[in-house]
Chain A
Amino acid sequence: MTNSNMTCEAFDSALPDYLEGTLDDSRRASVERHLSECVRCTSLLRDIENISKGAAGMPDLVPSRDLWQGIEARIAAPVIPLTARPERQRRFSPVWMGVAAAALIMSTAGITYMLTAHSLRSTLGSTVVTVAPANNRVATNTSPDSGAPAGAAAPTPANVGVTSTQPDGAASRAVQFDGPSGRPRLPASLASQSTADREHSDLVYGREIEMLQNIVSRRRTQLDSSTVAIIERNLQIIDAAIAQSRKALARDPASRMLDQQLTHALDKKVELLRTAAMLPAST
């Protein structure tokens, strides 16, 4: 429809500004004249105003489930806070800290190895530890009465695995330290063996994690703040996964899958902390 002042197309173009109240007086008067004569445009304006009013008056929605539990699980993760240290408290150079971090990582990995190996020896009897030259993994001899083979090398956190075959020929149980990271890796056959094994594994992981967290905490001021934020966020996610796995495992202690899940999450935490501890300083 048209009238002497404005077409419907021109009205459509002017409508957004008319609704916003940003038209100048002359244009607004034209729009209002058109509205007084055009049913189609009056209807359009009324409908849009009703839609806007309806939208503004919509009540709050209610979630269909309790969201707090999920939020709480994520924020309650028991992460040791990486509290910032004042600049004046920094007594060591970044280079020194890097060297110290590397040394501490080696020592924690060593301690982890010793704790794990000791426990397994006491659990499994006399186990002989050797190094397989071909793949840097450990070959083993069957206890109780065999000796170390010729050429056996001293174990290191990076290349050691402990394997034992039971006298009755049962499948082997092993703890291996994986590659240069030296982190403990518990295969499913061990991870799901017993509560005692789980407790021991928790102890080893706990010490490793605590030491690494101390290193990362001391290095915090050397790292880029956005990197620290990402690390903290990822630690929270991993801790939530650990907490969920522990909770599920408490309900179903015999579940091999849950045990593997927990071990995997702990591995991830150690790996992340190790990476953070070895990151170069941002300056």
Chain B
Amino acid sequence: MAAASNLAHVAMGDSTDVALAAGGDRQAFERLYQAHANRVFSLCARMAGSRTKGEELTQDVFVRTWEKLPQFRGESAFSTWLHRLAVNVVLNARKSDGKLASRADQGEEDEEPWDQVARAPMHLERMDLANAIAKLPAGARKIFVLHDVEGYKHEEIAEMMGITSGGSKAQLHRARLLLREALER
């Protein structure tokens, strides 16, 4: 009940701040940033397989949000719109950012640990899972994060990534099997 109340408060606060920020109010936009930064960062870092790259992408996402905010029509919740925009920014990040891609594909570890979470101490298993996700091949990792972490449906993932729903399903299964193999070691 309390959680629902908090969500409602956030949503109501969002709508005011969204309107103010769309009109150029940077303080309102900073409040939106503070409210959503960790979730956006989590999405970016997990999809990119790198905290460092995730930080860069998070900044790109919010700059893009600032630019696009006047076009937000409120047809969905701001958080939904923001996350879709974040996914697009990550997916459209330069493909020629090959260093990161190859690093991730080769399963090299990120420089920083994955155990800095917003709340609650991390269980060992969870940390293992986070590290294993970061080591997945880029394509499988993105689909796993979008589906199993972020809760997108295969049809939505297929549309965002320009692949078929079946392709998304196959990549997800591959990712899960690879994770199981990694976690069994």
Which single member of B33, B120, B151 contacts A71 (CB below 8 Å)? B33
| Residue-wise interface mask of B (62-99) relative to A, using a CB-CB cutoff of 8 A (1 in contact, 0 not) | 11001100000000000000000000000000000000
Tell me which residues across on chain B come within 8 A of A52, comparing CB atoms. 148, 176
Chain A interface, number of residues (Cβ within 8 angstroms) = 30
Tell me which residues across on chain A come within 8 A of B66, comparing CB atoms. 71, 75
Tell me which residues across on chain A come within 8 A of B114, comparing CB atoms. 61
Q: Which stretch (A62-70, A96-104, A259-267) binds chain B?
A: A62-70
Cα separation A20 to B180 with both chains bound (whole Å): 18
* Contact, CB under 8 Å: A55 / B129: yes
Tell me which residues across on chain B come within 8 A of A67, comparing CB atoms. 37, 41, 55, 58-59, 62
Closest B-chain residue to A17, C-beta based? B169
* Contact, CB under 8 Å: B120 / A70: no
Tell me which residues across on chain A come within 8 A of B125, comparing CB atoms. 54
* Contact, CB under 8 Å: A15 / B173: yes
* Contact, CB under 8 Å: B63 / A60: no
| Residue-wise interface mask of A (1-33) relative to B, using a CB-CB cutoff of 8 A (1 in contact, 0 not) | 000000000000001110010000000000000
Tell me which residues across on chain B come within 8 A of A16, comparing CB atoms. 169-170, 172-173
Whether, in the assembled complex, A51 has its beta carbon less than 8 Å from a beta carbon of chain B, the answer is: yes
Q: If A56-B148, A61-B38 touch, does A51 touch B170 (CB 8 Å cutoff)?
A: no
Closest A-chain residue to B121, C-beta based? A59
* Contact, CB under 8 Å: A75 / B59: no
Whether, in the assembled complex, B28 has its beta carbon less than 8 Å from a beta carbon of chain A, the answer is: no
* Contact, CB under 8 Å: A68 / B30: yes
Whether, in the assembled complex, B183 has its beta carbon less than 8 Å from a beta carbon of chain A, the answer is: yes
| Residue-wise interface mask of B (19-40) relative to A, using a CB-CB cutoff of 8 A (1 in contact, 0 not) | 0000000100110011001110
Tell me which residues across on chain B come within 8 A of A60, comparing CB atoms. 38-39, 41-42, 117-119
* Contact, CB under 8 Å: A62 / B176: no
Q: How far is the CB of B53 from chain A (nearest CB, A)?
A: 12
Q: If A16-B173, A51-B180, A61-B51 touch, does A75 touch B29 (CB 8 Å cutoff)?
A: yes
Which single member of B30, B37, B183 contacts A51 (CB below 8 Å)? B183
* Contact, CB under 8 Å: B118 / A76: no
* Contact, CB under 8 Å: B116 / A62: yes
* Contact, CB under 8 Å: A61 / B148: no
* Contact, CB under 8 Å: B26 / A76: yes
* Contact, CB under 8 Å: A75 / B41: no
Q: How far is the CB of A71 from chain B (nearest CB, A)?
A: 5
Q: If A64-B116, A68-B33, A75-B63 touch, does A58 touch B130 (CB 8 Å cutoff)?
A: yes
Tell me which residues across on chain A come within 8 A of B129, comparing CB atoms. 51, 54-55, 58
Which single member of A17, A59, A64 contacts B120 (CB below 8 Å)? A59
Closest 7 CB pairs of A and B: A55-B148, A60-B38, A60-B118, A59-B117, A16-B173, A61-B42, A75-B66
Q: A-contacting residues of B (Cβ < 8 Å)?
A: 26, 29-30, 33-34, 37-39, 41-42, 45-46, 51, 54-55, 58-59, 62-63, 66-67, 112, 114, 116-120, 122, 125-126, 129-130, 133, 144-145, 148-149, 151, 154, 169-170, 172-173, 176-177, 179-180, 183-184
- Give 11 A-B contacts (CB < 8 Å), ordered by A residue: A16-B170, A57-B126, A58-B129, A58-B130, A60-B41, A61-B118, A63-B37, A64-B112, A64-B116, A70-B59, A76-B26
